[in-house]
Amino acid sequence: MQFWVNQAFNGISYAALLFLLGGGLTLIFGVMKIVNIAHGSFYLLGGYVGVAVFTRTGSFYLALGAAAVTVALVGMLIERVFLRVVEGDDLRQMLLTMGIALFVQDLCLLVWGGDPFNLRGPAYFERSVRLGAFSFPILRLFMIGAAAVFFVVLWWFQERTRSGAMVRAAVDNPEMTEALGINVPVLRMAVFGLGAFLAGVGGVVGSAFMGIYPGLDFEILPYAFVVVVVGGMGSLGGALLAAIVLGLADNFGKALFPEISYFTLFGSMGVVLALRPSGLFGRA
């Protein structure tokens, strides 16, 4: 019992991190239809900026905000300056985001070196809440809470606000949306910034959870892809569900059959893509 509850709780807190990462990517994918290889780099950059701000100010929430805003601005700049030039050409977009990912990777290595960092966060992150026989670390509860808050806010934004309706329209039919007088290029830039923002939040939370080090960007990127693909590209609810399934599967899978855990992960992604390209919960 203790084992199952602990593993499930760990899985769900990991799922929270995956949602922050994949949720941003799914928004970007939905509106822009690009495979953003630089998304893991946004996570990495967010983590490093978060650590830098935290060591100087000592405030976790300031670090969180500063990192997320920085990464969002970087993302919007990249969209405006680079991605817009190659709009509509899948392969060129992919090469471009690959180049940006490598650039960010090497830049981070240059600035912060090769040693791993751990963001310790406020002191209460290290305490636990006890509930009967079980104990739940506050850091993990915070991660789950952050993901829940972002999910609710994003869902409300997408389903209940005028801007959200514009985003949904741009996902379904960009030409028609533009013809209705909505500025789709600005919308794309904003959504790319929002996706990067979420990745930045994920990076700070993640660096408190499991540290940050060179190479983490390409290590975490496949997970984000799986969340997006299985959940349905552009679907927030799908991303949440996929993140939970993936978080649990990853936690139990690595313990139960380590040799083929990655294969089953990416294999299932390939099969979902082939059989139901819009994802399990995506709109066709």
**Interacting residues toward other proteins by CB under 8 A:** 33, 35, 37, 82, 85-86, 89-96, 98-103, 105-107, 109-110, 218, 221-222, 225, 229, 258-263, 265-267, 269-271, 273-275, 277
Quote the least distance from Cβ 27 to other proteins, whole Å: 16
Closest to other proteins by CB, 65 or 222:
222
Residues 140 and 251 sit within 8 Å (Cβ to Cβ): no
Minimum separation from the CB atom of position 96 to other proteins (A): 4
3-class secondary structure for 122-136?
Answer: CHHHHCEEEECCEEE
How many residues are listed for the chain in this entry?
284
Q: State the minimum distance, in angstroms, from the CB of residue 93 to other proteins.
A: 7
Identify which of residues 187 and 221 has a Cβ nearer to other proteins in the complex: 221
Nearer to other proteins, 8 or 94 (CB): 94
Tokens 């389903």 map to which residue?
159
Q: Shortest gap between Cβ of 216 and other proteins (angstroms)? A: 13
Q: How far is the CB of 270 from other proteins (least distance, A)?
A: 4
Distance between CA atoms of residues 217 and 38, nearest Å: 8
Beta bridge partners of 135: 130
Element (H, E) at 129: strand 128-131
Query: CB of 226: closest distance to other proteins in angstroms?
Result: 8
User: 75 vs 121, which CB is nearer to other proteins?
Assistant: 75
Residue 131's DSSP bridge partners are 134
**Of 28 and 63, which CB lies nearer to other proteins in the complex structure?**
28
Q: How far apart are CA 85 and CA 66, in angstroms?
A: 29
Q: Which residue in this structure is represented by tokens 């996929």?
A: 242
Closer residue to other proteins (CB): 136 or 218: 218
- DSSP letters, 22-43, are HHHHHHHHHHH----TTHHHHH
Helix, strand, coil share of the chain (percent; to 5):
80, 5, 15
